[in-house]
A and B are shown apart, each in its own frame.
Chain A
Amino acid sequence: MARVSERSGWARALRRNALMLALAVAWELAARLHLTTDFLLPSFFTVMRRLALDTVSGQLPMALAYTLYRALVGFTLAAVLGVVLGILIARVRLARWFFDPLVSVGLPMPKIAFLPVFILWFGVFDESKILMVAFSAIFPVIVEAAAATESVDRILIWSALGLGAGERRLLWEIALPAAFPQIMTGLQVALPISLIVAVLTEMAMGGEGLGATMMQAMRFADSPGVFAGIIAIAVAGSVLVKAMEIVRRRLLVWHAEAEAR
């Protein structure tokens, strides 16, 4: 019985990835048969070899490290500041009065347009890139954190207060844990934005990193380099998104959400 399901599991996995496999084969065939030029479409194996070579030479891990460093530091800034601001907006009237209109204008606005302003203020190095990432990623965090804090069950708060909890314990032991799932949702939106913007700033300003490496490869008409860059970024993006899902599941073990799975 186990064997049958195992085999059908394999069959299902194969069928599930049939298109991906077919695409890789079609890619290789199209390149081998010279349906296009090597410049427009280097063969699958050429790109894989390039990935391997760049990994061994240390060039790819280096570029990846730069990009991840900028994306993650910016994301962390956005996460910490965003959660604090969100909670303030939900609980302090003055903060709400001041920040609410700013956030409602800032959330749908294309933040990337401010890139030249960040270059003017903070130069073209890590500082401006990281701050650009943080500025782009912070708005969804603020919105979710504020909504989450607001929707914490009143009865939960009243009972905690009735049992003699102070403001500080109320925040750390009641409000934050109760608001946490929705705050995580905001962070899960912010993380991919961080990576997108980190790559964009590198493309626009240079200075190492995957975005800059890809632009460099493009300028030298080095198409295997461009495709290798895409694959590296795609893998990095998937790994980050997956990691975030795992973190969510780990941290929310105690929550009803986890039991529902």
Chain B
Amino acid sequence: MSALKRYLPLLLLALVWEAAPRLHIIDPASVPPLSQVATAWWDLLRSGDLVSNGLSSLENLSAGLALGVVVGISLGVLMAWYRPLDELVHPLVRALYPMPKSALIPVMILWLGLGSASKIASIFIGCLLPVVLSAYNGARGVDRVLIWSALAAGASRRAVLWEVILPSALPEILAGTRNALALSFILLVSSEFVIGQRGLGYLISFLGEGGAYDAMFAGVLTVAAVGFLADRVYLAVMRSALAWRE
């Protein structure tokens, strides 16, 4: 009930979306009524277009994001752990961090062609730097006293890494990964716009160029909803992963 009350404005907007084009307050050609969009969504689902392109998007997104997160956390923690590596890599990370990640898409196409590999690589590199920096900052911020006492208590360096440093750095790592998740959606959709061939981004722009605006809106809303839900699920997982700290 409270959720319903909270999201009432969204419901109102949906009603306006349905009514305004039907009453020709807005041109139905540029905003098809919501019920028409819903029908188009159902058709997209039944024809299999939504599923096949959605699966392609999901595959590329999870491959790029997983690579970025695993490599990013390892590199960030190693940089904090091992000083020479830090001195070597940090300037590079610092220099590349403010670079707009979207600029990489054309180079990836040049190197890897017009296919999944370019999309995955763009997502991977885009996600890498925020994760590296958050893991690095998290691991650097670990209380030295904790590490010393663990070492003094006879813990091996490996045990310190797994049982002291990683858990203490977890909040920052998880926050950085959340940024990477948002970034991965942006890079996925835009690389699909640019590369085409497959994926939800491609489906949306294909439908838009073909003038099937109700289906295009259905695709846009699907991507927006998936991105939103992914963030909410991630947030719930993150909270439960950090529950022990309370």
Which chain A residues have a beta carbon within 8 Å of chain B's beta carbons? 15-20, 23, 39-40, 97-102, 105, 108-117, 119-121, 192, 195-197, 199-200, 203-204, 210-211, 214-215, 217-218, 221, 223, 226-227, 229-230, 233-234, 237-238, 240-242
Known: A102-B10, A196-B101, A203-B190. A19 touches B224 (CB 8 A): no
Q: Which A-B residue pairs are the 4 nearest by beta carbons?
A: A108-B231, A116-B208, A110-B185, A113-B223
Residues B102 and A203 in contact, CB atoms below 8 Å apart? yes
A23 x B92 contact (CB < 8 A): yes
Asked if residues B103 and A234 are in contact (CB atoms below 8 Å), the reply is yes
| A residues near B194, Cβ cutoff 8 Å | 203-204, 215
Instruction: Give the residues from 100 to 134 in chain B that come closer than 8 angstroms, CB to CB, to chain A.
Output: 100-107, 109-111
B144 contacts the other chain (CB 8 A): no
- When distances are taken between beta carbons in the complex, the residues of chain A under 8 Å from B193 are 112, 115, 200, 203-204
Cβ–Cβ contact A40 & B98, under 8 A = no
Chain B 198-229 interface mask (CB, 8 Å, partner A; 1/0): 00110011011000010011011001110110
| Residue pair A114, B10 in contact (C-beta under 8 Å) | no
Q: Beyond A113-B189, A120-B30: 12 further Cβ-contacts under 8 Å?
A: A20-B92, A40-B111, A105-B10, A110-B189, A110-B224, A116-B204, A116-B216, A196-B102, A203-B106, A215-B194, A234-B95, A237-B98
| CA distance in complex: A237, B231 (Å) | 27
Please tell me which one of the listed residues A97, A108, A196 contacts residue B100 in the complex, with CB atoms under 8 A apart: A196
Q: What is the predominant secondary structure among interface residues of chain B facing chain A?
A: helix
Let me know if A117 and B217 touch, CB within 8 A: yes
- Chain B residues lying within 8 Å of A214, measured Cβ to Cβ, are 103, 106
Given contacts A108-B231, A204-B190, A223-B110, contact A116 B10 (CB under 8 A): no
In the complex, number of A-B residue pairs with CB atoms less than 8 Å apart: 152
Q: Do A234 and B99 have beta carbons less than 8 Å apart?
A: yes
Q: Is the CB of B205 within 8 A of A16?
A: no
CB <8 Å contact, B107 and A110: no
Q: Mark B129-154, 1 if CB is under 8 A from A, else 0.
A: 00000000000000000000000000
CB distance from A75 to the nearest CB of B (A): 13
Chain A, Cβ-Cβ closest to B208: A116
- Among B13, B104, B110, B227, point to the contact of A40 (Cβ < 8 A): B110
Which residue in A120, A121, A233, A240 is a CB contact (below 8 Å) of B103?
Answer: A233
